[in-house]
A and B are shown apart, each in its own frame.
Chain A
Amino acid sequence: MSAVDTTVHSDGHGHVTNTGVSNEKVAMWAFLGSECLLFGALISTYLLYRGKSVSGPREPADIFDIPFTSVSSFVLLMSSLTMVLALAAIQRRDEPRLRLWLLATALLGATFIAGQIYEFTAFVKEGLTISTNVFGSSFFVLTGFHGVHVTLGIVMLLSLWSLSARGKLPPEKSETVEIAGLYWHFVDVVWIVIFTVIYLIP
């Protein structure tokens, strides 16, 4: 639209932006940048309090069932794969498959959350609550925050599924799925860090 301008590009969705990336996607990247600091602060808090508890279970090894959590972590990582498949489906205009993979992703996420609820319950029974010691406080708050993020992601996926079922998510809007996917992958990547920090580092 302009002879002098060299910085304006179309992102292929009808939007014209200076960066060539749509507003929604830049916004999601910015938001995820902010989320990095949120989880960074929580993870730092957890690390600061490692081994500082004065009573109760203070070593993760005292109480964690690492094989169980490994399996649920694997489930969550697989949900990233199904998310990719969902995006690929809408990009090749295959809406039934889109809905299938969206549901599969949400289901895998829900399985992870169910595992987390089971784990929390088991820990409370074994005597570790948020108020037991600083390990309990930082463990429950860090993993709880992550669980809330996964839950919001599931709500997002089910909303997309519902939109698609009503015919309101045509292939032209595949970027919406892509952006939801960015969030979902971010939450998975954060879990890799959290899992390593809490369960794997001796």
Chain B
Amino acid sequence: MTSVLEPSAPLELPAAPPDPVLRRPRTTQGFWGWITTVDHKRIGIMYGVTAFVFFLFGGFEALLMRLQLAQPNGTLLSADFYNQLFTMHGTTMVFLVVMPISAAFFNYFAPIMIGARDVAFPRLNAFSYWTFLFGAILINSSFLLGGAPNGGWFGYAPNTSITFSPGHNIDFWIFGLQMLGIASTVGAVNFIVTILNLRAPGMGLFKMPVFVWMTLVASFLLLFAMPIITVALFLLMFDRQFGANFFNPAAGGDPVLWQHLFWLFGHPEVYILILPAMGIVSEVLPVFARKPLFGYPVVVFSGIAIGFMGWGVWVHHMFAVGLGPVAVSAFSISTMFIAVPTGVKIFNWLATCWRGSIKLSVPMLFALGFVAMFTIGGLSGVTHSVSPHDRQQTDTYYVVAHFHYVLFGGALFGIMAGIYYWWPKVFGHLLSERIGKVHFWLWFAGFNITFAPFHILGLEGMPRRIYTYDDDLGFDYWNMVSTVGSFVIAAAVLVFLYNVWHSRRHAVPAGPDPWDGRTLEWTIPSPTPAYNFAEVPEVHEIDDFWHRKYGEDDQGRMVKLTPPDTEGSLDVHRDDVHLPSPSYFPMVASFGLLIIAYSMIYRNYAVAVLGALVMLGGIYAWGLEPSSEPHDDHGHDDGGGATSHDPDDDGGHKGVEPADAPDAALGVNSGTAEQVTTT
């Protein structure tokens, strides 16, 4: 896919300004090609691979905890290390696994599904990735630097204040999450602009695939939720490092403030985690049921409704705090109410499958698994809206069961469906169906064996976050069952890795459209060319590609149109599409942030200033280099292309060299590129 760029990047460009610090990267090949890439597809792959590595980290942490709890009075782990493990397991799975894998799908597929050639701000996109990666490394480096965060993923103050958590553990958590928050906010801005502005001709908002809609809703949730935890983390930082009193009850500080701020972020965050998976499932089910999604507008509006109502339910995380009957009643009702749009979606998915000609391929299995498991998790969620019941279950394993059914049974099942579904588009070959089915059934069984017993343990009163328990409490049996189940999940993950390796070894080209798909990504070759679309598509319908392939006869029966009028464009090889050039500076700016974060953790404020200068230098160099090399003004008018919009996040300095590079250097001005022959 990269060879496309080679002819268009001649090495001797008269116009290339000599860069005193770093010569602009020219190659899109090899290691440096990946480091300096601004291609949304490569950034998507990097997000996915990174997140999967952290999934293995988080899974390993879970296995250690399950081994410790397998039997009463376990001695494998110390109490403190157990605290670090459950904190890092939660933080990792939420911020370093589900969110970035969703970001991987956003990155790779949202632009393609709307018919664009890249995101609106390609370099800003690279900045998001590097900031995410550095933040993730920062948090995990704490294991080697004196101890990982140990205050839970929710980090309740004042337990996390300097008085009760004097080490650097919590500082790593604060600054790691700040970096991840920056990455998410920047990414959210990028996707909102991309989806609002870069849709192909005819792709009205209500012709967009549901996955794109859910990306948009999740991006808005990120945009508005992230600043709230940013503030909470800053307040905690000022308490810990500068002697402020925000969470110091002795000076009038209110510990409940932390809970409000955290959960006002934390509950929208739940929907940030699940909406992308809902979007994936809404793409997969119609393809494998060979029917349009039932009630497309209703599914979209339900997603939007969840996005709004998600802001009004956060107090159900705090029913045991003692906020009084009025607050508890109001939030009980709103929590029951938010189950309505979620339930509507489930019925839409069921109706999509109803009387469809269902093909039980692996993506479909995971999607159906999602619907079933997420329904269980959703129902146990509704039980929490009943506040007397919730009061009973607060801080027990019942809650752990609930959120694993929505986050593993929901988000991870949906993500796995997406991985199997889109794998051929990304890598050009299918994953093995046979091994995939083994993976699914192990995964499904292991998941239920691990987490279903938590319901029982919770109802029996087993508290969360305990590192061991006595043998006379009656918790032994189900804990052992759960531990066995967790190793079944581990086996399923190994089967998946084997599948990746095996399918790559025995790769058979999948062709552009292996599943008889419905959306635009299946109209282009697999793997996707660097420029995505040889010609920017025109869209006429929801599921436009399906309507290009199938029509109706006189009796209204579905008939295949032959030949599909898209086949011709697959043979086109374009080397004249003007793409954004690679750049070092997004990574430099992110690296400045990493320096700031480490120096703040160790209270070395002089080094923090140095980091700020590195970051500022990176941003200036970034602002002063043109988005596309050599700079010229073409590329604006190719409809789906984001080829020369300057990603300039502060709207400030957008210096660009005069356009003295001849268009001939690139072979063609893309203003005329749309008329280029497509033989």
**In the bound complex, how far is the Cα of B199 from the Cα of A15, in angstroms?**
13
Tell yes or no: B495 within 8 A of A by CB. Answer: no
**In the bound complex, how far is the Cα of B244 from the Cα of A140, in angstroms?**
10
CB < 8 Å: which of B224, B633, B648 contacts A33? B224
Are the C-beta atoms of A41 and B189 separated by less than 8 Å? no
Within 8 A of B (CB), among A27-56: 27-28, 30-31, 33-35, 37-38, 41-42, 45, 48-49, 52-55
**In the bound complex, how far is the Cα of B227 from the Cα of A35, in angstroms?**
7
Are the C-beta atoms of B227 and A27 separated by less than 8 Å? no
Given A26-B192, A137-B246, A168-B655, A1-B199 contact (CB < 8 Å): no
**In the bound complex, how far is the Cα of B121 from the Cα of A24, in angstroms?**
9
Taken residue by residue from 242 to 270, chain B's Cβ proximity to chain A (1 for < 8 Å, 0 otherwise) reads as 11111000111110010001001000000
Given A5-B538, A27-B121, A133-B245 contact (CB < 8 Å): yes
Tell yes or no: B234 within 8 A of A by CB. Answer: yes
Stretch of A85-93, A152-160, A187-195 that contacts chain B: A152-160
- Chain A residue at minimal CB-CB distance from B237: A141
Tell yes or no: B506 within 8 A of A by CB. Answer: no
> Which A residues touch B656, using CB under 8 A?
168
Tell yes or no: B324 within 8 A of A by CB. Answer: no
**In the bound complex, how far is the Cα of B249 from the Cα of A53, in angstroms?**
10
- Chain B residue at minimal CB-CB distance from A141: B238
Within 8 A of B (CB), among A13-28: 14-19, 21-24, 26-28
**In the bound complex, how far is the Cα of B202 from the Cα of A99, in angstroms?**
42
Are the C-beta atoms of B235 and A30 separated by less than 8 Å? no
CB distance from A127 to the nearest CB of B (A): 14
Are the C-beta atoms of A131 and B244 separated by less than 8 Å? yes
CB distance from B308 to the nearest CB of A (A): 14
Given A14-B636, A38-B230, A53-B251 contact (CB < 8 Å): yes
Tell yes or no: A134 within 8 A of B by CB. Answer: yes
- Chain B residue at minimal CB-CB distance from A26: B193
Are the C-beta atoms of A134 and B234 separated by less than 8 Å? no
Tell yes or no: B359 within 8 A of A by CB. Answer: no
Are the C-beta atoms of A183 and B650 separated by less than 8 Å? yes
Tell yes or no: B232 within 8 A of A by CB. Answer: yes
Are the C-beta atoms of A2 and B192 separated by less than 8 Å? no
Tell yes or no: B660 within 8 A of A by CB. Answer: no
Stretch of A59-67, A108-116, A172-180 that contacts chain B: A172-180
> Which A residues touch B189, using CB under 8 A?
27, 30-31, 34
Are the C-beta atoms of B650 and A38 separated by less than 8 Å? no
Are the C-beta atoms of B231 and A41 separated by less than 8 Å? yes
Are the C-beta atoms of A152 and B650 separated by less than 8 Å? yes
Are the C-beta atoms of B245 and A134 separated by less than 8 Å? yes
Give the number of residues in B that approach A within 8 Å (Cβ atoms): 63
Are the C-beta atoms of A41 and B227 separated by less than 8 Å? yes
> Which A residues touch B192, using CB under 8 A?
26-27, 30
- Chain B residue at minimal CB-CB distance from A166: B655
Stretch of B165-173, B497-505, B582-590, B637-645 that contacts chain A: B637-645
Are the C-beta atoms of B197 and A26 separated by less than 8 Å? yes
Within 8 A of A (CB), among B172-200: 185, 188-190, 192-193, 196-199
**In the bound complex, how far is the Cα of B222 from the Cα of A87, in angstroms?**
32
Give the number of residues in A that approach B within 8 Å (Cβ atoms): 62
Tell yes or no: B646 within 8 A of A by CB. Answer: yes
> Which A residues touch B646, using CB under 8 A?
24
Are the C-beta atoms of A4 and B201 separated by less than 8 Å? yes
CB < 8 Å: which of B190, B193, B257 contacts A48? B257
CB distance from A94 to the nearest CB of B (A): 20
> Which A residues touch B645, using CB under 8 A?
15, 22-24
Are the C-beta atoms of A41 and B202 separated by less than 8 Å? no
Tell yes or no: B204 within 8 A of A by CB. Answer: yes
Tell yes or no: A130 within 8 A of B by CB. Answer: yes
**In the bound complex, how far is the Cα of B185 from the Cα of A15, in angstroms?**
24
Are the C-beta atoms of A173 and B197 separated by less than 8 Å? no
**In the bound complex, how far is the Cα of B227 from the Cα of A62, in angstroms?**
32
Are the C-beta atoms of B650 and A41 separated by less than 8 Å? no
- Chain A residue at minimal CB-CB distance from B124: A27
Given A14-B633, A137-B238, A141-B234, A24-B197 contact (CB < 8 Å): no
**In the bound complex, how far is the Cα of B651 from the Cα of A28, in angstroms?**
7
Tell yes or no: A138 within 8 A of B by CB. Answer: yes
Tell yes or no: A163 within 8 A of B by CB. Answer: yes
Tell yes or no: A8 within 8 A of B by CB. Answer: yes
> Which B residues touch A16, using CB under 8 A?
636-637, 639
**In the bound complex, how far is the Cα of B651 from the Cα of A176, in angstroms?**
6
Are the C-beta atoms of A156 and B251 separated by less than 8 Å? no
CB distance from A52 to the nearest CB of B (A): 4
> Which A residues touch B251, using CB under 8 A?
53-55, 133-134
Are the C-beta atoms of B243 and A130 separated by less than 8 Å? yes
Are the C-beta atoms of A159 and B253 separated by less than 8 Å? no
Chain A residues near B (Cβ < 8 Å): 1-2, 4-5, 7-8, 14-19, 21-24, 26-28, 30-31, 33-35, 37-38, 41-42, 45, 48-49, 52-55, 129-131, 133-134, 136-138, 140-141, 145, 152, 155-156, 159-160, 162-163, 166, 168-169, 173, 176, 179-180, 182-183
Chain B residues near A (Cβ < 8 Å): 120-121, 185, 188-190, 192-193, 196-199, 201-204, 223-228, 230-232, 234-235, 238-239, 242-246, 250-254, 257, 261, 264, 538, 540, 620, 623, 633, 636-637, 639, 642, 645-646, 648-656, 674
Please name 14 pairs of A and B residues whose Cβ atoms are closer than 8 Å in the assembled complex, sorted by A.
A1-B201, A4-B201, A4-B538, A7-B204, A8-B201, A17-B197, A18-B198, A24-B648, A26-B193, A26-B196, A31-B189, A138-B246, A141-B238, A180-B651
Additional 6 contacts, C-beta under 8 A, given A33-B223, A133-B245? A23-B193, A24-B645, A41-B232, A134-B252, A156-B652, A169-B654
